[in-house]
């Protein structure tokens, strides 16, 4: 679907993105993660050919046929939502079954006769999602799709996306800095930092590579540091401490101590935040 080799993007003298080699296969769901300035949006712009770059990007799809949701999508402020949809799809809503299904899917029918300028942030996002998803493109890109939305609305939108694409062979690229949004939606991760690729691969493979067999997460306290000083410890944040176990023997030893100390903990074998934290430290 997409093959990238020796890609480099510069803004003036500053290198914004550098990717030696990257392959995305048809039907894969890729989560692109990185802090501000990591190169996430620059990668999307390069794929869409709206930024100058050197190197080679080969796609099994014309750029104009890619469906994309950017961070900022603007429409005519005083035009009705119904008119916007029909202008974009080039037909009446009643003649397009997919659009009708998406309108029902997002509970959007009551918004059709509203002017765009009075829609809430969540309603504007749903409008753009309907237009992007209705295109039925084999390659769909979402760039910070839940930016500016409250937690509850973010959760609902990501649940809708998961339901919609679960049984489809659409290739998805999702840019987000909310790790929990990607947990159940993507199967591969591309982790960027300062324009460089830190890690790329299947979530399970990356967890095993950077996090071992299993990880226990406890409160980041001096007492816990002392209790588990013989284990591999990683400070995820000021509040969270990761106890990394590379095999069953280590896991059982940690479990016994956790039970003995009557401690609250989380056991995980798949945690994107943890993968990113440990990949950065590698």
* Tokens 């199967």 sit on residue: 187
- Give the pairing of strands 214-219 and 232-235: unpaired
Q: Is 96 helix (H, G, I), strand (E, B) or coil?
A: coil
Name 96's Cβ contacts closer than 8 Å, sequence gap at least 6: 89, 134
Q: Are 45 and 94 in contact (CB under 8 A)?
A: no
| HSE of 166, CA atoms in CB hemisphere, 13 A | 8
**Nearest 5°: CA angle at 186, between 185 and 192?**
130
Compute CA 165 distance to the chain's CA centroid, rounded to the nearest angstrom.
14
Radius of gyration of the chain from Cα atoms?
22
Closest by Cα among 59, 14, 9 to 173:
59
Distance CA 133, CA 136 (A): 6
Residue of 13, 17, 20 lying closest to 193 (CA atoms): 17
C-alpha 186/C-alpha 183 separation (Å) is 7
Task: List the strands of the sheet with 214-219, edge to edge.
Answer: 232-235, 240-245, 214-219, 266-268
Listing DSSP states for 151-178 in one string gives HHHHHHHHHHHHHHHTT---EEEEE-S-
pLDDT in tens, the chain (282 residues): 899 999 999 998 899 999 999 999 999 999 999 988 899 999 999 999 999 999 999 999 999 899 998 755 667 777 899 999 999 888 999 999 999 999 998 889 999 999 988 988 778 888 888 999 888 899 999 988 877 677 887 788 888 888 888 888 999 999 988 888 888 889 999 999 999 999 999 999 999 999 889 999 999 999 999 999 989 898 888 999 999 998 999 999 999 999 999 999 999 988 898 898 888 877
Q: Determine the Cα angle at 236 with ends 187 and 261, to 5°.
A: 110
User: What's the length of the chain?
Assistant: 282
The DSSP code sequence of 213-254 is SEEEEEE--HHHHHHTTTSEEEE-SSSEEEEEESSHHHHHHH
pTM of the predicted model as reported, rounded to 2 decimal places: 0.84
Angstrom distance (rounded) from CA 276 to CA 282: 10
- What are the residues facing 184 on neighbouring strands? none
């Amino acid at each position: 679907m997409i093959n990238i080799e020796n890609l480099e993007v510069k803004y003036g003298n500053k290198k914004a993105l550098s990717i030696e080699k990257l392959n995305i296969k048809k039907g894969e769901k890729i989560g692109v993660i990185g802090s501000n300035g990591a190169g996430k949006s620059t990668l999307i712009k390069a794929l869409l050919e709206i930024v100058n770059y050197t190197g080679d990007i080969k796609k099994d799809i014309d750029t104009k046929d890619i469906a994309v949701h950017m961070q900022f999508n603007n429409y005519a402020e005083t035009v009705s939502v119904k008119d916007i949809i029909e202008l974009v799809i080039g037909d009446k809503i009643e003649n397009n079954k997919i659009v009708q299904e998406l309108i029902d899917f997002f509970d959007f029918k009551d918004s059709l006769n509203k002017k765009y300028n009075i829609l809430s942030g969540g309603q504007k996002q749903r409008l753009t999602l309907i237009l992007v998803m209705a295109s039925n493109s084999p390659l769909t890109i979402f760039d910070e799709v839940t930016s500016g939305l409250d937690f509850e609305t973010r959760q609902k939108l990501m649940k809708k996306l998961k339901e919609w694409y679960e049984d489809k062979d659409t290739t998805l690229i999702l840019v987000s800095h909310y790790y929990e949004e990607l947990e159940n939606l993507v199967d591969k991760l591309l982790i960027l930092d300062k324009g460089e690729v830190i890690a790329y691969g299947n979530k399970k493979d990356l967890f095993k590579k950077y996090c071992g067999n299993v990880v226990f997460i406890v409160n980041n306290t001096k007492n816990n540091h002392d209790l588990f000083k013989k284990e591999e410890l990683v400070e995820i944040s000021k509040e969270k401490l990761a106890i990394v176990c590379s095999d069953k023997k280590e896991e059982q030893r940690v479990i016994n101590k956790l039970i003995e100390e009557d401690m609250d903990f989380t056991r995980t074998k798949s945690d994107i935040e943890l993968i990113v934290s440990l990949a950065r430290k590698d």
